[in-house]
Each structure stands twice: as C-alpha cells, then as structure tokens.
Structure 1
Amino acid sequence: MKKVFVSLCMASALMGLSSCASTKNAATLSSISGEWNIIEVNGTAVVPAPGQEFPYIGFDTKTGKVFGNSGCNRMMGSFDVNAKPGSIDLGSLASTRMACPDMTVENNVLSALNKVKKYKKLGKENIALCGASNRPIVVLQKKESVSKVSDLEGKWIISEAAGEAIPDGMEKQPFIEFNVAEKRLHGNAGCNLINGAFQVDDEGSSVISFPQVISTMMACPDMEVEDRVLKALNSVRSFGKLTGGGVGLYDADNNLVMVLVKN
C-alpha cells in the first residue's frame, strides 16, 4: 500500500512540474516573442500532410499581434500584452479559408489554440501552451529563420500571393530571381515582366522591401494573379525561412503575403 501511495505521489509531482499551474519554469512575455513551430497537439506529434506547410505561430510581444500558419491557412489575431505573466488567451484567432486536400492537422491546431489560456517554458528550448485545466495542449519549438540575405540568391517560383495559391498550369508562371550582389531582381508577375531593386538593412537582417520594382505594360485576358503578386510585393517588409520549405515574405504586420519555392 505504501508503494502505491508513493508512486501516486511521484506521478502527481511530475504532472505538476509539466503543468502550467507550476511555478517551475515560469515564462515571461518576452520569452514567447518570435516564431514557433507547432510540434505537438494534445500529446500527439504534428505530422503535416504531403505538400502542406508545417504549422507555426508567431507572437509580436510589442504590439500583441499573433500570426502564423495552421497547416493550410494563414492565421492572425491578437493577445493582451498587459495580461498577467504566463497568461494568454488565443480564443479569437481568425484564418484565411483556402481548402487543402487534408485539413486534419489544421483542424486539430485551431481547435487546440482556441482553448489556450496559459504558457510556460518546457525544458530549455520549448514553450507549452495550456488550457484552462493547466495541462499542456500545444508544444512550441523555436522556428528557424533565414538569417542571411544571400540565402535568397537565385530563382524562386511564387507559389502563393496575398493568401491564395497561384494556379497550376499558367502560361507564364510567376517567379522572382534575386541577384543579391547587385541587390536587384527580375521575374514575371503572371503576365508582365518585373525588374527592379530591393533594399535590405544588412546581410544578417530579415528586413527587406521592394520600393523600385517596375513592370512592362502588356495586357492579358486575366490580370487577377498579376495584381495579387504586385500588391503583395509592394507590401513586403521582411522575409523568413518556412519550415515546410521555401521562403515567406511578410508585410509590416508580420502577415505572410507571399510564398517562394526554389525553382
């Protein structure tokens, strides 16, 4: 009987340490800043469906903005930066409505995030997001990002612009090719050629913009894709590596506005 009692006590202690109710490994607001891969939901490892991006979430702890990708669609929202340390409510997240062949990961991620009320450190590198019961329901791992402008060198296919996938089989597939040494680019927006320069802060910065991009003026039967591409390019303010492969271009609010995949 004593052994059973001791075992139960040990189990309770371990559960307490992994719980958001525990003061051990408490996290400050600044510790969740940045982008995080969603690697576990409700105790199950996240495995993206073939062709889908690995889900991630980002927190801007200065403005209270939330952004990311739930596995298929972009998600966005806000949280209270003045809340008690360790407390966060993600119940008001919104997302785009693009349909993907398999929405299982996305549905699980969004359902879990909707229940998040607290956060804490989990080990040295991860963050646990907990529900009202204080049990971890989402585990986050710091997302790797592109740290060098030189990583952009070469030709990239534009696979998504302004939250919508670029249709397959276009006569002129939108693309961008970067010449990092000269800080110039050229490509095709879907109908017309684009050329110009891009601006960056320095080699180790993720800040980038395209203030001097121009295009030819040929008229095509359908300009919808081109309009989306040019509008997205005009809004870009930063870039980062996507876990599922490729590079994401983000606007001033950290919304993903364009996805590039290596040609």
Structure 2
Amino acid sequence: MKKVFVSICVAGVALAMFSCHSVEKALPLSSINGEWNIIEVNGSKVAPDESKNLPFIVFDTATGRVSGNSGCNRMMGSFDVNAKPGNIDLKGMASTRMMCPDMTTENNILNALGQVTAYKKAGKNKMYLCNASNRPVVILEKKVSDVRLSVLSGEWKIKEVNGEAVPFGMEKQPFIAFDVKKKTIHGNAGCNLMNGGFETNVDNAKSISFPGVATTMMACPDMELEGKILKALNEVKSFDVLSGGGIGLYDANDALVLVLEK
C-alpha cells in the first residue's frame, strides 16, 4: 500500500508541474508581447532546421496580430486584445503554402496552436500555451533576435513591389536608403524623391514602419509604379533578411510587399 501511495503522489506532482492551472494572478496580455521560439509541442522538443533556426511566433499585443514561421511556411492570424488576462484564442491561424521535404513539425505546430485557449508563465523567459483542458500544448522561449536593425544601413534598390518586378534601367531607378542611427530614410519612388523617418518596436527586433513619408510633387508620364511603391511602403510593419540576401518588407498580415536588393 505504501508503494502505491508514493507512486500516486509522484504522478500527482508531475501532473501539477505540467499543468496550466495556477493560483497565481493571471499575467497581463503584454507579458506575451514580442518574438518567441517554439521549443516544444505536445511534449516533444522541436529540432532546429538546417540553418539552426527554430520555428517562432510573434505577438503584437497592441494590434492583436500574430505572425511567425512554423518550420517551413510563414503563419499569421489575430487574437482578441480585450480577452480576460491569461486567455488567448489562436484558432484560425493561416499560413503560406510552400511544400517542404518534411511537413511533420509544421503540421504539429499548426494543429497545436489551433487548440490554444490560454497562456501561463513557465519560468524565466518561457511561456506555456495551453489548451481547454489546461494542458501545455506549446512551450515558448523568448527569442534573442539574430537580425539587427543595422542590417538595413545603406542604399537598396527596390526590386519588387507586391510580387511585381520593378524594371531595371529606369531613368529614375526606385531606391531607398536607411540612416539607422538617425532613423531616417531618403530615396526615389520612380519619379519623385521621398524623405522621412521610420519607427521600430523594442519588443520585436524586426518591426519597422514608415509613418509620414513625404515626396516631391513632380508629375511624370507614368505614376502607376510610384503609387504602388508608396502605398506598399505605407503598409510595412516588419522586415526580415531573405534567403537570397535581400531584405523583405512585410505588411500587418505578414505578406511580402517590397523586396530590396543592395
């Protein structure tokens, strides 16, 4: 009887350790803001890819936007910023549709995120995402970004806008130049000069936006491309380094709107 009693106690302790039940006060939504590596799904550790990168998820608690990478594809969605502290619903996450050699990790992550109803602190720099049964289905670890704002420094050609290639050899080739220290930009949108500043978010190393970019007012025979570039620039919310070495600028839905090339 004594052995059975001990066994039950140990099992109970283990269950408590991995439960999302807590007598502590629920964490405010701001506690999940920023970028997190996905390190475990349904009790299984997540292995890095060939570039030693882990799948990750980014929460913007100001706008209710969520984005990230599930191992192959980029993912995006939204959540209710007015939910009760400790609660979060990640149903309806969408993703891009590239096919990769092994989709197992990606499918496991997306399925687990679809079950998430709550979050809870899991030690220093870690967070549980829990299902309706208060079981952790995803474990996150705060990400130390390996992409620094300084990567943007200098002048870049605007290569693509919303998937459309920008013609090479134009009289006024569209470009954008970043002064990272001053947080300013200047460039050419295809006809007119543009100048302004950019803003970032300390909780997300890849965040960037361009409020209030001003341009000169010259009229050119074809203003269509310029209009597309300025519209796309106004929609930018984040950046990342592309596999080919360029820079991608993404909108709030994590759609690639501009491609820059040195």
Name the TM tier (shorter chain): 0.5 to 0.7
Aligned pair count reads 248
Larger gyration radius, structure 1 or structure 2: 2
Gaps of 5+ in 1: none
Q: Give the letter for the 2:61 counterpart.
A: T
Alignment partner, residue 97 of structure 2? 98
The alpha-carbon deviation at position 48 of structure 1 amounts to: 4.2
The alpha-carbon deviation at position 114 of structure 1 amounts to: 0.7
1:26 touches 1:121 (CA, 8 Å); kept in 2? no
Alignment partner, residue 35 of structure 1? 35
Q: Match of 1:92, SS?
A: coil
Q: Give the letter for the 1:11 counterpart.
A: A
Q: Match of 1:40, SS?
A: strand
Alignment partner, residue 197 of structure 2? 199
1:120 touches 1:127 (CA, 8 Å); kept in 2? yes
Following the alignment from structure 1 to structure 2, what is the Cα–Cα distance between the partners of residues 157 and 105?
36
Q: Give the letter for the 1:81 counterpart.
A: V
Following the alignment from structure 1 to structure 2, what is the Cα–Cα distance between the partners of residues 177 and 248?
14
The alpha-carbon deviation at position 209 of structure 1 amounts to: 1.7
Following the alignment from structure 1 to structure 2, what is the Cα–Cα distance between the partners of residues 259 and 38?
27
Q: Match of 2:88, SS?
A: coil
Q: Match of 1:68, SS?
A: strand
Q: Among all aligned residue pairs of Structure 1 and Structure 2, give the percentage whose two residues are the same amino acid.
A: 47
Following the alignment from structure 1 to structure 2, what is the Cα–Cα distance between the partners of residues 18 and 118?
14
The alpha-carbon deviation at position 16 of structure 1 amounts to: 0.9
Alignment partner, residue 2 of structure 2? 2
User: Is 195-204 or 108-117 further displaced after alignment?
Assistant: 195-204
1:76–1:203 distance in 2 versus 1, CA, 3 Å = closer
Q: Match of 2:35, SS?
A: strand
2:35 touches 2:57 (CA, 8 Å); kept in 1? yes
Q: Give the letter for the 1:209 counterpart.
A: F
Kindly provide the CA deviation profile for residues 225-252 of structure 1, in whole angstroms up to 9, marking residues without a partner as x: x99877543422x44667x99866443x
Kindly provide the CA deviation profile for residues 148-178 of structure 1, in whole angstroms up to 9, marking residues without a partner as x: 743422477989975x7x99xx999x99664
1:54–1:228 distance in 2 versus 1, CA, 3 Å = farther
Following the alignment from structure 1 to structure 2, what is the Cα–Cα distance between the partners of residues 178 and 128?
38
1:52–1:258 distance in 2 versus 1, CA, 3 Å = farther
Alignment partner, residue 113 of structure 2? 113
User: Is 135-144 or 75-84 further displaced after alignment?
Assistant: 75-84
Q: Match of 1:233, SS?
A: helix
TM-align CA RMSD: 4.7
Alignment partner, residue 72 of structure 1? 72
Alignment partner, residue 256 of structure 2? 257
Following the alignment from structure 1 to structure 2, what is the Cα–Cα distance between the partners of residues 153 and 77?
30
Q: Match of 2:71, SS?
A: coil
Query: Residues 43-54 of structure 1: matches in 2 within 5 Å?
Result: 43-50=43-50, 54=54
1:262–1:3 distance in 2 versus 1, CA, 3 Å = farther
